[in-house]
């Protein structure tokens, strides 16, 4: 069963890395916004951005946060995480710092964005519930292959975790 997922990531520094994961082809992801489309959305302000995110999340069963060096703490990443969780969607994180960008560069590992949330019902950090995956390789191709090999299982696990919580 092909799952429909939403990819959450810090656009400017990580869009090249994110496109690699999105193009794996094992899951159906949200359509990427072109630079021009995104510029149009952002000109509409916070309400337009929120509406665009909400529309993109509609009909998705899981949100994959692609974690780069500066992903954690960003306003719209936090909104996407909170909205996804509150809407009952599976949620997972994949560290992408060892994938190369368009200039052939890797980056530093970022903080876990799920650390920013504490669950009201049991005072647990969301990071203790939501799984994150850090491919155990430093070579970009090996990282890509590892993600490709495991992403479908990670999605199913995320959906099961959310259903059980």
Phi and psi at 162, nearest 5°, equal -65, -40
- Residue 149 has what pLDDT? 97
Q: 106-164, pLDDT tens digit by residue?
A: 999 999 999 999 999 899 999 999 999 999 999 999 999 999 999 999 999 999 999 99
Identify the burial level of 138 via C-beta atoms within 10 angstroms of its C-beta, where 0-12 means exposed, 13-18 middle and 19 or more buried: exposed
Give the single-character DSSP code of 164.
H
- Residue 138 has what pLDDT? 97
- Residue 28 has what pLDDT? 76
Q: 68-98, pLDDT tens digit by residue?
A: 999 999 999 999 999 999 999 999 999 999 9
Architecture of domain 4-164: 3-Layer(aba) Sandwich (3.40)
Question: What's the whole-number mean pLDDT along residues 6-34?
Answer: 85
| H or E segment and range at residue 92 | strand 90-95
Judged by phi (left if over 0) then psi (alpha if -120 to 50, else beta), residue 83 lies in: alpha
C-alpha–C-alpha distance, residues 8 and 80, integer Å: 7
């Amino acid at each position: 069963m092909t799952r429909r997922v939403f990819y959450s990531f810090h656009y400017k520094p990580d869009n090249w890395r994110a496109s690699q994961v999105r193009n794996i082809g094992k899951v159906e992801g949200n359509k990427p916004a072109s630079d021009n489309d995104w510029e149009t959305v952002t000109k509409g302000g916070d309400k337009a951005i929120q509406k665009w995110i909400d529309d993109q999340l509609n009909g998705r069963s899981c949100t994959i946060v692609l974690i780069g060096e500066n992903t954690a703490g960003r306003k719209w990443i936090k909104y996407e995480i909170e909205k996804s969780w509150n809407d009952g969607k599976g949620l997972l994180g994949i560290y992408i710092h060892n994938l190369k960008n368009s200039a052939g560069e890797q980056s530093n590992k970022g903080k876990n964005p799920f650390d920013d949330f504490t669950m009201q019902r049991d005072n647990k950090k969301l990071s203790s519930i939501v799984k994150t995956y850090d491919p155990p390789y430093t070579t970009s191709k090996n990282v890509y292959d590892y993600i490709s090999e495991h992403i479908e299982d990670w999605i199913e696990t995320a959906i099961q975790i959310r259903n059980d919580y």
